Homo-oligomer: A and B are copies of this chain.
Amino acid sequence: MLTIGKLSRTAGVKVPTIRYYEEIGLLPEAERSAGNQRLYGTATMDRLTFIRHARELGFTLEAIRDLLSLSDTPDQSCAAADQIAKAQLVAVRDRLARLRALEIELERMIAQCAHGTIADCRVIEVLGNHDLCGHAHNASDHPSL
């Protein structure tokens, strides 16, 4: 049985984060020692590793909750999990496209900086003047980047 600290180091997830996951129901309530400290077995260890990997891949905790409930009932179709991953891929490609545009814009801004005074600095100017922007962006263009 692992203490929360050992679980933390083994899974690469911080201690308060583990407690947080328990609080929101992503992890089951842990067993307790005689002195009320949390104790974990390998099942929770695996579950936590699953969560960490999913987080690293950009899944929200809600998506992870769905994936976990799927894997808790493994006899059904894979289609739902597949669906979640595909939605995730769409979101990732969306973010990628926006970030690439952003990279180009920043490169342009920096290239145009003449190292004079701010009065003629394009970094400021580009941000203040839409006409200089170089790419089209509209109001609904940045939900969370």
* A126 CB to nearest chain B CB (Å): 8
Q: Which segment, of A22-30, A32-40, A111-119, faces chain B? A: A111-119
For chain A, residues 44 to 92, give those with C-beta under 8 angstroms from any C-beta of chain B: 46, 49-50, 53-58, 67, 70-71, 73-82, 84-86, 88-89, 92
Residue among A57, A86, A127, A138 with the most chain B CB within 10 A? A127
Judge whether A74 and B117 touch: CB under 8 Å. yes
- 18 pairs of residues in contact across A and B, judged by CB atoms under 8 Å: A12-B138, A50-B124, A50-B127, A53-B130, A57-B106, A73-B118, A74-B117, A75-B118, A78-B121, A79-B115, A82-B113, A82-B115, A85-B106, A86-B110, A88-B106, A89-B103, A89-B107, A96-B103
Q: How far is the CA of A57 from the CA of B102 in the complex (A)?
A: 6
> When A96-B103, A106-B92, A118-B71 are in contact, do A78 and B113 touch as well, CB less than 8 Å?
yes
Count copies of this chain in the complex: 2
Tier of interface size on chain A: 35 or more
Interface residues of A (CB under 8 A from B): 12-13, 46, 49-50, 53-58, 67, 70-71, 73-82, 84-86, 88-89, 92-93, 95-96, 99-100, 102-103, 105-107, 109-110, 113-121, 123-124, 126-128, 130, 133, 137-139, 141-142, 145
Summarize A's interface: helix, strand, loop or mixed: helix
> If A12-B138, A92-B99, A95-B99 touch, does A114 touch B78 (CB 8 Å cutoff)?
yes
